Amino acid sequence: MPIASPEVYAEMLDRAKAGRFAYPAINVTSSQTLNAAIRGFAEAESDGIVQVSTGGAEYLSGGLKDMVTGSVALAEYAHVIAAKYDVNIALHTDHCPKDKLDGFMRPLVAISQERVAKGLEPLFQSHMWDGSAVPLDENLRIAQELIVECAKARTVMELEIGVVGGEEDGVANEINEKLYTTAEDVLKTVEAIGLGEKGRYLLAATFGNVHGVYKPGNVKLRPSILKDIQDAVGAKFNQDKPFDLVFHGGSGSLLEEIREALDYGVVKMNVDTDTQYAFTRPVADHMLRNYEGVLKVDGEVGNKKQYDPRAYGKAAEGGMAARVVVACQDLRSAGTKLK
């Protein structure tokens, strides 16, 4: 199927909330990891989201170190590959802090606006503005501008309020009470950008989330916060679960915590740390098992079949694809693909 159109993406999100499941949003940094992600979705019979961060986008551009070029290259490749699969794939850009807006999110939104003006589909289906490092009032002022531009591009904006702890792509936050979004925060959000009438958006509200690697129990997740904010806004505006929520920093979370969050309206969950390991682990295994083949040890010639990047690349893709299947099963999206 082609990359999800704005209408298909909207249907995906609506179905997820109604069905109490979420789509894994898999971070990718190369054509190999993109292939692995889409393969995993297809094997799970799940639609899904593939996303690129600022650091991933820069890496994708090679020596150019240009986030926009890397993002466009990935998206164009994805549009070709995804068309050969029988699941819907949405393209998303991950955390974009204030200092990278002009070099990442804004130009990508402008590219989609130009495409839409020509009667084409947008290049990406959604973009994340990460204002967690600035005061909430400033965060929402910027969001007001961005949601208008995203709407012109027929794309969805993702907004983060509260703070996700830990570190990702150089953005680091402490683990403290700021990890928990309040009802006051979300009411201010609605006052600033509405509930969809100015443009659809995803809300990354925080409930103890932490990026990176940690064991369950080291950070206290409180999924009930998501229910509280849905109830607070829902009661005021007479809507059931008014927000499309996003779960960031889920590595190491207990399955029951993940499933509880789905019940409260989470429709997208970022998955990066676990799939990185699933991709790299088979490569490490290959290198250790075939040490004398992948290296020209003591003047020998090595074994071309073992140091051919395809040998360990296939294993890496397979390992990551299998982890994507597990993510789909955990998030209850397996077997839910749109026909």
Determine contact, residues 273/212, Cβ cutoff 8 Å.
Answer: yes
Strand ranges (E), the chain? 23-27, 48-52, 89-93, 126-130, 156-161, 166-168, 171-173, 201-205, 244-247, 266-271
Q: Give me the catalytic one of 47, 66, 86, 94.
A: 94
Measured in degrees and rounded to the nearest 5, phi and psi for residue 166 equal: 80, -160
Residue 66 annotated as catalytic = no
Alpha-carbon distance 194 to 191, whole Å? 6
CA dihedral 154, 243, 43, 334 (to 10 degrees): -150
Alpha-carbon distance 129 to 239, whole Å? 25
Alpha-carbon distance 204 to 256, whole Å? 19
**CA angle, corner 156, sides to 100 and 143, nearest 5?**
50
Alpha-carbon distance 204 to 186, whole Å? 11
Alpha-carbon distance 238 to 73, whole Å? 43
- Which positions are annotated as active-site residues? 94
